Amino acid sequence: MRSTSEAKVVAEVFGTPIVVKGRTWFPYIELGVWLGMAWVAGKGRPDRSMGERLGVGALTAATLLGSEWGHNLAHAAAAAWVGKPMDALKVTWGMPLVIYHNINDQTVTPRQHITRALGGPLFNAAILPFALILHRFSRPGSTTRDVATAAVGMNLLLSTASLLPIPGIDGGPILKWSLVEKGCTVAEADETIKKVDRVVGAGLGVAAGAAIKSRRKFLGAILALFSILALAVGFGLVKE
């Protein structure tokens, strides 16, 4: 283990150091998701004991969080493939966070920026068909079906929502560097993204309202969160 500033490098993958800082290694999120999924496993299933609920919750939580870890490791793999590794993969509350110290690094070509950003969504898109097959052939009410449902939902979310043109998630850099590749300056691309995000944010807000009205509250909450983030970027309240 070696230290970089105050962060400790605990491993390296695809040429990217995995770092922790203080107690950021502690799996707070994993524990929270486990308990949450244990509650979901028991919802409407009085036949399941507490031990069974915790067991199913552990498997579905591992599926959800493993999909997220795979997403970020795929970013690292894509970055290594184009010869421009990530600066770090920081473990925050037990979950990975991609770190690029210079998001406008001019030594990285627009195509390389795009490829690095596409790594994660492509990984989840590749996993999704297998999750769908598992869901199709698993027995309703079984633990396998619960795991398959978690896999389908998470990989569908990560392969689609991550492509929204919002800075901080994959679609933002993809749109930005596509514009730069076509001749825009970085500043011009950033301004275009703000305009796009104002429209996207409004559209997501309408979709969130429709989802909540149709009693799909969880979907509505996710759409509302992305709507708020897009509008915050669009009106300059949040910067990349």
Euclidean distance between the first and final Cα of the chain, in Å? Answer: 31
Q: Based on the domain organization, do 94 and 194 belong to the same domain?
A: no
Q: Which amino acid is at 153?
A: G
| Per-residue pLDDT tens digits for 8-50 | 999 999 999 999 988 888 999 999 999 999 999 999 899 999 9
CA distance 51 to 213: 36
Residue at a domain's end among 108, 143, 163: 163
| Residue 3's pLDDT band (cuts 50, 70, 90) | very low
CA distance 219 to 173: 25
Among all chains, which residue has been given the structure tokens 């690094």?
A: 105
Q: Based on the domain organization, do 47 and 15 belong to the same domain?
A: yes
Among all chains, which residue has been given the structure tokens 């309703």?
A: 140
Query: Which pLDDT value is given to residue 197?
Result: 97
Q: Based on the domain organization, do 11 and 89 belong to the same domain?
A: yes
Count of alpha carbons within 13 angstroms of residue 153, beta-carbon side: 14
| Per-residue pLDDT tens digits for 120-151 | 999 999 999 999 999 999 999 999 999 999 99
Please give the residue range of the domain that contains residue 21. Answer: 1-163
Question: What DSSP state is assigned to residue 139?
Answer: P
Q: Based on the domain organization, do 135 and 187 belong to the same domain?
A: no
Q: In this model, does residue 110 exceed pLDDT 50?
A: yes
Q: In this model, does residue 225 exceed pLDDT 90?
A: yes
Q: Based on the domain organization, do 139 and 196 belong to the same domain?
A: no
Write down the pTM of the prediction.
0.92
Q: Based on the domain organization, do 148 and 133 belong to the same domain?
A: yes
How many structural domains are present in the chain? Answer: 2
Residue at a domain's end among 107, 142, 163: 163
